[in-house]
Amino acid sequence: MMARCMTSEGQGRKVFYGAMITESVIALIWAAAGIAFYGTCQMLHSALTNLGQSGVVYNISTEMLGRIGGVLAVVGVVICPITSGDTAFRSARLILAEWTGSDQKKISRRLMITIPLLAFSAVMTQLDFDVLWRYFSWSNQSLAMISLWVATAYLIRRKDRWYPSLLTAIPAIFMTAVSMTYILVASEGFQLPYLIGYTIGGGVAMLMGVLYIITIRISVMRKM
């Protein structure tokens, strides 16, 4: 969605890197708040198990910021998944429109895709939201991994130099290990033993790294 809104490739660094850095800072703030409020990682884990993520967020916000500040913090947390869902719906609609060749300039054409999507999502909301959110998070990270590899391939094919591809290849290798390992060992995934899952996930990431190095050597030899 953001790529469609940008007017030049030069804006990608500010938009995408800026968004990722901002999200990482928010994650670190909530992690620090959870440890400071509950005292230890074990107590925080127990609170998450008993109260759920929403309950933990509510307790931390209201106790540390007061009633008004807590309400503002909770609203801010709620807005994040809402905007993610909105972006996901629009992205899905545009992808389906491209697959089917449907022009999206008219509202009627948009509704032809949007209404079935919303109906399908309404059925999905009857399932356990925590499990759905884990699948969404994993698919989101997997999409980021694929995008990083696509960007890496694009940078390698540049005629002037290949080394800028390291900026995307290194996080792509890391994300490959994370995404593969998670779905292999998670309870909603293949539920493999940790040792086997970590070995396979790390092995796939190392294989991608080796293929990247081989691709670089081939690219350099062709340009010589």
Tens digits of residue pLDDT in 71-107: 777 777 777 777 777 777 888 888 888 888 888 888 8
pLDDT for 224 equals: 63
Residue 55: CB partners within 8 Å, gap ≥ 6? 47
Domain boundaries, given as residue ranges, for the chain: 128-224
The model scores a pTM over 0.85: no
The tens digit of pLDDT for each residue in 119-152 reads 988 888 787 777 887 888 898 889 889 989 998 9
